[in-house]
């Protein structure tokens, strides 16, 4: 009986550690990224807005992009019905920021200095969204 209890305790520890197998990393916010077209043409805020909306559905991971107010979108990504990432997208004709807003099941926590930590996939998903937006900006008419 004692051997069974020790065995089950070991299994429980492995299962719990498996749930957090990937360590949390600092959240990487995109702060005031310059928006520049390769051809040097100036953009309007409306063109940037269209590029953001198109980018949200451009990849295999679909972001739900909703306008909170002019110059501010809220982007929500739900992965496998289990993990949710929410970010604020602030934009103008020349600048773009993507900032963490909320998440579910992504191991969000704050470190001793108050910085946000999260599952590394969050940063990858935001980076993919940023790349899609920047690619769309190059194509916008």
Strand locations in the chain, DSSP E?
A: 25-26, 30-34, 63-69, 72-79, 83-91, 95-104, 109-110, 116-118
pLDDT at 132 over 90: yes
Residues 72 and 98 sit within 8 Å (Cβ to Cβ):
no
Predicted confidence at residue 94, as pLDDT, reads: 97
pTM of the model: 0.82
DSSP 23: P
Q: What share of the chain is helix, strand, coil (3-state, %, to 5)?
A: 35, 35, 30
Distance CA 99, CA 87 (A): 5
Mean pLDDT of 114-140: 96
Q: Each residue of 38-72: pLDDT tens digit?
A: 999 999 999 999 999 999 987 677 999 999 999 99
Residues 91 and 45 sit within 8 Å (Cβ to Cβ):
yes
Class of domain 24-139: alpha beta
Residues 88 and 29 sit within 8 Å (Cβ to Cβ):
no
DSSP 92: -
């Amino acid at each position: 009986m004692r051997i069974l209890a020790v065995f089950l305790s070991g299994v429980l520890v492995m299962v719990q550690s498996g749930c957090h197998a990937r360590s949390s990393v600092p959240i990487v916010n995109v702060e005031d990224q310059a928006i520049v077209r390769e051809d040097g043409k100036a953009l309007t805020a409306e063109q940037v807005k269209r590029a953001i909306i198109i980018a949200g559905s451009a990849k295999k991971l679909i972001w739900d992009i909703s306008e909170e107010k002019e110059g501010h979108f809220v982007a929500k990504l739900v992965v496998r019905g289990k993990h949710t990432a929410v970010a604020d997208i602030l934009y103008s004709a020349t600048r773009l920021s993507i900032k963490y807003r909320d998440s579910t099941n992504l191991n969000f926590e704050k470190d001793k200095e108050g910085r946000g930590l999260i599952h590394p996939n969050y940063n990858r998903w935001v980076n993919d969204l940023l790349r899609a937006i920047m690619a769309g900006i190059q194509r916008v008419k």
